[in-house]
Structures are given as C-alpha cells and as structure tokens.
Amino acid sequence: MSAYRGGSNTFAIIGLEAKEPARLYEDPPYECEWIPAGARRALVKGVAFKMFPDDGNVYSHLYNAVTINCTFQENVGTDKMGGELVVYASYGEAFWRKAERIVALTEAPGEYQSASAANNIYEYVYCGSPLFGNLSPQRIREWIAYHARFFGSKAHFFLYDAGGVHADVQRVLEPWITLGRVTVDNIRGQEKFDGYYHNQFMVVNDCFHRARHLARWLFFFDVDEYLWMPSDAGSLESVFAKFENHAQVIIWQNPMSRNMCIATDNVSETPYVSLPR
C-alpha cells in the first residue's frame, strides 16, 4: 500500500498479509534493505519487525493489515543522494520459494527531508475511513464544510476512495481540493482483497504514518460522525492544550436519534445556512 519515513534510519511499510499463511505456515518473515543511489555504493541491511493492527479481530476476513517497521543501525539517505527501500517477503521455511522482492519506497536525489522539518505543517489532520457505496453528495458537502470551519484554516483532510467518491461527490470535494484543504486517494484496487470493512485498518495505519509528522493532532472518525464542543468549553486549541502530554485522547460519543430531529411535515420551509469557505 505505502511506505513512509519515520526518521533518519527508520521506515514504516503498510500493506496486507493473507491470514492463513501467517497462522499456519510458520509466520513468514520479512527482510529489508536500503540501496543507495549510485552503482558503487554498498547496500545497507536493516531489521524488519511486523505488527498486525487488527490481529484478533473476529470480523476480519481473508487478509490482515500489516505494518512493517524497518530500522537501520545507521542513517540512510540523509546525504540526499536518493535510494530505494526494498522489502523481501518470505513464504516461510515450509515453502522453498524465493522471497518476493518489493521496492517499497524510492527517494529521488534531494528528496530527503528530516522528520523535524515536516513537523506541524498543520495544526490538525483528519484521517478518514474508506469511502464506499452510494454516498450522498449533500451529506459530504455539509460534513466537510462543517469540519473545515470547526478545525480552522490549519487543518487538512485525507480521504480514501474505496468506490464511494462518484462523480457527484467528486464535484463537491473539488473546491476543497483546489484550496489545498483535502487530499483524496484512490484505493479502489484494494477492494479485491477481502479485509475487514474495506481494509479499514490498513487505511487508518497508512494515514497515521503518513501524517504523524505533519500535525500536532490526528483525528480518526467517520463521515457520519460530527465533532462538537459545548459553547462554554473554550476554543479547540485550549481544550487540546490540556492533553499535550498525552499520546491519545478518546472522544465521548453521543449516538443520534430520530427523536432529536424535526419532522419535515411540521416545517413549512427549512432555511439553508451557508458556511464561509
């Protein structure tokens, strides 16, 4: 799926692994190496450690999300000469087949950027779950306008199209994309791999490693959910300033009920409220 730098000598690679081989066939290992640009430069071997974010999830299907951490004993690519991060996926000792060679990440000359240089480009980043099905463009328009105002100008939204961003939804999102507030990734090809909830764990981990150095706070919730603060809570900045020393904050959920909505047959005309861009 993707690979991201976590620092000068560490990377995160996010993808899918079939569940049954992992359980039945001796837990196939991974290996990683860094190949510097230039024919005369020696490659560097790293240590690969894999994690299953949805391991034990009873609702998962044929595939698990897998995150592979590749760490090297020395800095790699920091000379800005470029290079490739290569991952080898083994079939395990029970299967004497050559390991699959996967070029997980390619850095062009001059592309390297330290994690500290990328810090806090945004105040907040929203990481969306896979968008699928026949989404309502009006609902998406209302949701993105509300949260763009809620988070403020120093926020960015990463959305993942698993088939739900059809032409009408794309037209709704296009102005926000043009403004640089929204990024939409096409992940429809992942739909052929049968994982939990359109491979939601893979998508969430992709966004986490993609944006962890870009913002002070990352938010994970769905497009049928709205963040809200009571009027006496102060600003969003003041609320989260209280949690600066915390790695994670869980937001209390209040389920909606149709009893909270106004019946349309009791309203002669419903005004529309236009939110400023």
CATH number, residue 69: 2.60.40
- pLDDT at site 253: 86
Give the residues across from 185 on adjacent strands.
Answer: 160
**Is residue 270 in a domain?**
no
- Is residue 23 over pLDDT 60? no
- Same-domain check for residues 136 and 243: yes
Domain annotation covers residue 179: yes
The CA distance from 202 to 237, in Å, is: 29
Residue 276 covered by a domain: no
Residue 168 and residue 140 share a domain: yes
Last-in-domain residue among 100, 115, 130: 115
Please identify, among 61, 89, 115, the residue that sits at the C-terminal boundary of a domain. Answer: 115
Structural domains in the chain (count): 2
240 located within any domain: yes
| Amino acid 277: pLDDT | 37
In a domain, 269, yes or no: no
Give yes or no: residues 199 and 140 share one domain: yes
**58, 83, 115 - which closes a domain:** 115
pLDDT band at 26 (very low <50, low <70, confident <90, very high): low
Tell me: do 53 and 154 sit in the same domain: no
246 and 137 inside one domain: yes
Give domain status of residue 265, yes or no. no
| Same domain membership, residue 171 and residue 255 | yes
Q: Average pLDDT for residues 156-171, to the nearest whole number?
A: 97
Q: Reduced to 3 states, what is the DSSP secondary structure of residue 19?
A: helix
Residues 118-130 as b/e (b if ≥16 CB within 10 A, e otherwise) read eeeebbbbbbbbb
| Positive/negative CA dihedral, 270, 273, 274, 277 | negative
- What per-residue confidence (pLDDT) applies to 225? 94
Q: Which phi-psi region, left, alpha or beta, contains residue 9 (left: φ > 0; alpha: ψ -120 to 50)? A: alpha
What pLDDT score does 261 carry? 62
Q: Same domain for 137 and 168?
A: yes
Q: Is the pLDDT of residue 155 over 60?
A: yes
Does 124 share its domain with 255? yes
166 and 54 within one domain = no
pLDDT of residue 49: 94
Residue 266 has pLDDT above 50, yes or no: no
76 lies in the same domain as 109:
yes
**What is the rounded distance in angstroms from the CA atom of residue 105 to the CA atom of residue 97?**
24
Of 40-44, 151-155, 271-275, least confident by mean pLDDT is 271-275
Considering only CA atoms, which of 51, 47, 36, 54 is closest in space to residue 88? 47
pTM of the model: 0.86
Q: Which of 139-143, 237-241, 242-246, 260-264 has the lowest mean pLDDT?
A: 260-264
103 lies in which domain range? 2-115
Residue 265 has pLDDT above 60, yes or no: no
Cα torsion for 234, 119, 116, 3, to the nearest 10°? 130
Q: What is the mean pLDDT of residues 136-145?
A: 96
Residues 128, 234 within the same domain: yes
Residue 272: pLDDT over 60: no
* Bigger pLDDT: 233 vs 76: 76
In a domain, 31, yes or no: yes
> Residue 35: pLDDT band by 50, 70, 90 thresholds?
very high
Task: Give the pairing type, strands 122-131 and 215-220.
Answer: parallel
Burial of residue 236 (CB within 10 Å: 0-12, 13-18, 19+) is middle
140 and 256 co-located in one domain: yes
**CA distances, 152 to each of 66, 223, 237 (Å):** 33, 18, 10
